Amino acid sequence: MVRAYTQEYVYKHPWERVTSACWRKFTDPDNVRTLSHILEVDTLNRRLDSQTGRLYTTRSITVHAPGPWFIRKIIGQDICHCVESTVVDARSRSMELTTRNVSLRKFLEVEERCWYNPHPENPGEWTEFRQETSIRIKPLSALASMAEKIEQRCAERFLQNSVKGREVMERICKYLEAESGGILN
């Protein structure tokens, strides 16, 4: 099942300011509490194409795994690793970011695409922001994994109960033996 979400927003700030803020949002100490789900951001690659003037950047982003605690417990991971690819074209004043998760993909795939462009009505002072997010949950593999975890827990419980069952059987056998006076061998 794929769910798609789209959001639009107008920043009442010029494109240069908004895109600069975009680069700083994860590193600004004032945002640590607000963005507490972001654990780490590392720049993996940065390249400037001298012919087109475009800046290409790839970053690794580590976040707390999405979803309720019991799902994180079932899947056995508390963190999720993502890769963000960014293209900035200063000549056309456009910035596009694409972020995808690289871990937890057997359970869900998330792709987020963001665009920052000068607003058509006031290009010198406002910036148009558009965000598209698609989330694809893989229920069969998630159920298979959940079933495997449940099966493992049941197997552990079965082994524990088997030991208790054998102890009970041993006690009953000893009781029966004592009651019969050892007649049966």
**Residue 19 shares a structural domain with residue 110:** yes
At 63 the pLDDT is 86
**Residue 87 shares a structural domain with residue 165:** no
- Residue pair 42/58 in contact (Cβ under 8 Å)? The answer is no
Q: What is the pTM of this model?
A: 0.73
**Residue 119 shares a structural domain with residue 172:** no
Question: What token pair was written down for 15?
Answer: 């494109």
Domain that holds residue 86: 2-137
**Residue 78 shares a structural domain with residue 90:** yes
**Residue 106 shares a structural domain with residue 60:** yes
pLDDT bracket for residue 149 (50, 70, 90):
low
Question: What token pair was written down for 177?
Answer: 């033996």
Question: Where does a domain end: 115, 137, 159?
Answer: 137
CA distance 184 to 39: 69
Q: For 102-106, what is the mean pLDDT?
A: 86
Looking at the 3D structure of the chain, how many domains does it have?
2
Q: Output the domain CATH number for residue 40.
A: 3.90.380.10
pLDDT digits (tens, 9 = 90+) for 61-80: 998 876 666 666 666 778 88
**Residue 132 shares a structural domain with residue 144:** no
* Average predicted confidence (pLDDT) for the chain: 80
Alpha carbon of 143 to those of 64, 75, 149: distances in Å?
21, 10, 10
**Residue 79 shares a structural domain with residue 156:** no
**Proportion of the chain above pLDDT 70, given as a percent:** 71
**Residue 18 shares a structural domain with residue 105:** yes
Query: Which residue is it, tokens 């590193």?
Result: 27
Greater confidence (130 vs 69) lies with 130
Report the length, in residues, of the chain: 185
CA distance 162 to 103: 37
